[in-house]
Structure 1
Amino acid sequence: MLITMARTSAKERLARREHALALLADGNSFRTVAALVSGKYGVSERTAQRDLTWARNRLVGELSSTEVKELLAWFCHRTQTIVQKAEKAGAYGAAVAGMNLIYQAVLSRELDSIHSNRHRGYGNRHGNYKG
């Protein structure tokens, strides 16, 4: 016996994704949105996760460069505040983790790019070059 799965129309899928976008824009967590979409529309968690990915990409895609810069500045300031509190409390592991988070989010691409550009050039020949 062949069992077929019900297919969702494009209109239904879009409605589900727009609902996920609205929930995400209201500040709900990813896990909460996935559970709400899964429960309301009777879809699997995996399908709800795909809808959530679509909604997150749509939400991020609508941010202007000014909003991204403001968000990044807020993120760095809050993380720096948490790092300072962790240092005062003697939680040095948390402080290092916070500094690493800032590095990964903000600085790593730029510094890695500078580092790799420095090591390129005429002095770094490879292969059969005998100089």
Structure 2
Amino acid sequence: MSRRATAITLTDDVRAELTRRARSATVPRRDWLRARIVLAADGAGNTAIAAGLGVCADTAGKWRGRFAAEGLGGLADRPRSGRPARFSAVQVAEIKAVACTRPADVLDGHLVASTLVTVPALAQPSWLLEIAVVAAS
């Protein structure tokens, strides 16, 4: 028993945006492919779309269904799972700034710990301080 393909009806504005994405040379390939799938879905089945674009029928059905449910916003990537970031972007920038500048306090090629502790992001875990000292030498 096969699933029925979700019916897609495109307005002129949406069709124009999808056509722009499908014809653009600078849009990421994933956006180009998703636009092509939805444009082809206006009247074709998932199997025909998959054969024409060289993708799996499940891929065609996935993007067709997400577009039908959410519109153009459904073609965007969803957040991925994974461990949350341990350090904020500001903390990472502070660490990079310290690592990329030549400090005034250098002893035999090693950074003096007091220089690194002035950065708030480095005051938290002691193992990071050790890594920064080793990396700077």
TM-score normalized with structure 1 length: 0.28
User: Which structure features the higher share of helix residues?
Assistant: 1
TM-score normalized with structure 2 length: 0.27
